[in-house]
């Protein structure tokens, strides 16, 4: 349904007043994937790994420097004219991390959650309330929320409002960018369950982005691990958990807290720094932190290869 090929985004840093340097931040380097209907692609990685740039590029908020994106047909989204792109863009919605900053405080809930639907032209202004009630019901909010404003809701309820807004135009794809990391533990599981339920009811595909590998493993059908703007490993969640291949995936799994396991994560020795995205080395970006690095790794970038069916990894070992 959705196919991305070689998405690349390099940000230009402004040249200084005195030096004419034209440095580039290599935020996204050749990311490719495919996503089927009603499936979830999970993206996991730490801050600065390019997760959000990837999301913005898919939505066309950022134009890539290279790469192609196809939704449903063989027309590259980035070659479409403005009007055609806008139509395609309506098939995609976005749920942000912070439900406090992503809702207009001056709008009533009924207007917020029906705005994308109204924009499609499928309903008229008079039909707002009827549709808003349906959506409220789907995301588990009381009907009395209709005329309220965002400040009257808690964090978890606001995230429900955001989900309602995202599903209102019945999109094919929703990009969820850290949708639960700002929420309390007891609320996180409510929202995750709601997202799963809605996916089953509406057959929506998700791109689920988070830094917490446990959450991504739970929500996804395919998990891609990102590091320094690249996918370094990709596999179905069970396979990735049981048989991680890339040393970075192993590191992530070793430091994620796990209750009842006495993992003693504070004793893990983590050396090296995250790579510089401006002066990119020709070798593997994980070289500096890698416990199994070899000479070759500093010089040559390992390609993303299929190791076993469905399990891709980029590592010379």
Partner 1 sequence: MKEPVLEVKNLTTRFHLIDHTVTAVNNVSFTLHENEILGIIGESGSGKSVTSHSILRLIEEPGTIDKESRILFRGRDIMQMSEREMREIRGSRISMIFQEPSASFNPLFSIGSQIGESLRIHMGTDRKSAEKEAARLMELVHIPNADRKASDYPFQMSGGMLQRSMTAMALACTPDILIADEPTTALDVTTQAQILGLIKEKQETSGMSVIFITHDLALVEDFCHRIMIMYAGRIMEIGNASDIIHRPRHPYTADLLRAILRPGMLKGKDSLFSIPGKVPSPGEIIRGCAYADRCSRCTGKCRNQEPELTGNVRCWNA
Sign of torsion over alpha carbons 294, 299, 304, 306: negative
Q: Is 251 in the site for partner 1 (CB under 8 A)?
A: yes
Taking CB under 8 A as the criterion, the residue among 16, 257, 282, 309 binding partner 1 is 257
Taking CB under 8 A as the criterion, the residue among 265, 278, 292, 299 binding partner 1 is 265
Largest alpha-carbon pair distance within the chain? 68
Q: Is 225 in the site for partner 1 (CB under 8 A)?
A: no
- Answer for the pair 105, 149: CB distance below 8 angstroms, yes or no: yes
* Neighbour count for residue 91 (Cβ, 10 Å): 16
Q: How far, in whole angstroms, is CA 161 from its chain's centroid? A: 19
- Least Å from the CB of residue 247 to partner 1: 12
Taking CB under 8 A as the criterion, the residue among 41, 103, 217, 301 binding partner 1 is 217
Query: 248, exposed or middle or buried, with CB in 10 Å at 0-12, 13-18, 19+?
Result: buried
Q: Is 38 in the site for partner 1 (CB under 8 A)?
A: no
Q: Is 83 in the site for partner 1 (CB under 8 A)?
A: no
Q: Tell me the backbone φ, ψ of residue 26, rounded to 5 degrees.
A: -85, 80
Q: What is the dihedral of CA 98, 101, 107, 108, to 10 degrees?
A: 30
Q: Is 215 in the site for partner 1 (CB under 8 A)?
A: yes
Applying CB under 8 A, the site for partner 1 has a residue count of 47
**Strand boundaries in 152-266, DSSP class E:** 173-177, 205-210, 222-227, 230-235
- Least Å from the CB of residue 129 to partner 1: 26
Taking CB under 8 A as the criterion, the residue among 118, 274, 280, 298 binding partner 1 is 274
| Closest residue by Cα to residue 44 from 273, 246, 213, 289 | 213
Q: Is 228 in the site for partner 1 (CB under 8 A)?
A: no
| Closest residue by Cα to residue 33 from 43, 46, 25 | 43
Taking CB under 8 A as the criterion, the residue among 8, 38, 170, 212 binding partner 1 is 212
Taking CB under 8 A as the criterion, the residue among 186, 279, 282, 295 binding partner 1 is 186
Q: Is 144 in the site for partner 1 (CB under 8 A)?
A: no
Q: How far is it, in rounded angstroms, from Cα 150 to Cα 100?
A: 8
Q: Of the two residues 46 and 129, which places its CB atom closer to partner 1 in the complex?
A: 46
Q: Which residues, including other chains, have CB under 8 Å from residue 163's CB and lie 6 or more apart?
A: 95, 139, 179, 191, 194, 195, 198
Q: Is 193 in the site for partner 1 (CB under 8 A)?
A: yes
Taking CB under 8 A as the criterion, the residue among 73, 83, 121, 185 binding partner 1 is 185
**Strand boundaries in 87-147, DSSP class E:** 92-95
Q: Of the two residues 128 and 215, which places its CB atom closer to partner 1 in the complex?
A: 215
Near partner 1 by CB under 8 A, which window of 7-15, 25-33, 252-260, 277-285? 252-260
- Answer for the pair 128, 102: CB distance below 8 angstroms, yes or no: no
Near partner 1 by CB under 8 A, which window of 8-16, 28-36, 131-139, 245-253? 245-253
Q: Of the two residues 166 and 223, which places its CB atom closer to partner 1 in the complex?
A: 223
Near partner 1 by CB under 8 A, which window of 50-58, 79-87, 165-173, 209-217? 209-217
- Least Å from the CB of residue 296 to partner 1: 24
Q: What is the dihedral of CA 189, 139, 201, 61, to 10 degrees?
A: -90
Residues that bind partner 1 (CB under 8 A): 46-47, 154-157, 184-190, 192-193, 196, 211-215, 217-219, 237-238, 241-242, 251-253, 255-260, 262-268, 270, 273-274
């Amino acid at each position: 349904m959705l196919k991305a090929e070689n998405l690349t985004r390099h940000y230009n840093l402004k040249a200084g007043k005195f030096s004419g340097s034209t440095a580039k931040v290599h935020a996204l380097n050749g990311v490719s994937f495919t996503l089927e209907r009603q499936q979830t692609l999970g993206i996991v990685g730490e801050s600065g790994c390019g997760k959000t740039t990837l999301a913005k590029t898919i939505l066309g908020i950022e134009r890539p420097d290279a790469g192609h994106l196809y939704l449903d047909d063989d027309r590259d989204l980035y070659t479409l004219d403005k009007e055609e792109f806008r139509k395609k863009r309506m098939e995609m919605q976005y749920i942000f991390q912070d439900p406090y900053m992503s809702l207009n405080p001056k709008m009533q809930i009924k207007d917020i959650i029906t705005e994308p639907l109204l924009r499609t032209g499928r309903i008229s202004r008079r039909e707002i309330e009827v549709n808003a009630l349906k959506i409220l019901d789907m995301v588990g909010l009381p009907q009395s929320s209709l005329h309220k404003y965002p400040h009257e809701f808690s964090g978890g309820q606001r995230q429900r409002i955001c989900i309602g807004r995202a599903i209102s135009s019945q999109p094919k794809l929703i990009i969820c960018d850290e949708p639960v990391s700002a929420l309390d533990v007891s609320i996180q599981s409510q929202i995750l369950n709601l997202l799963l339920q809605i996916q089953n009811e509406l057959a929506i595909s998700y791109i689920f982005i988070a830094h917490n590998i446990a959450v991504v493993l739970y929500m996804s059908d395919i998990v891609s691990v990102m590091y320094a703007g690249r996918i370094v490993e990709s596999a179905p969640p069970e396979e990735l958990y049981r048989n991680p291949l890339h040393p970075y995936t192993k590191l992530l799994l070793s430091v994620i807290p796990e209750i009842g396991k006495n993992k003693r994560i504070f004793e893990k020795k983590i050396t090296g720094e995250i790579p510089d995205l401006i002066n990119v080395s020709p070798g593997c970006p994980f070289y500096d932190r890698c416990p199994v690095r070899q000479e070759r790794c500093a010089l040559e970038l390992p390609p993303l290869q299929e190791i076993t069916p469905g399990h891709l990894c980029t590592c010379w070992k």
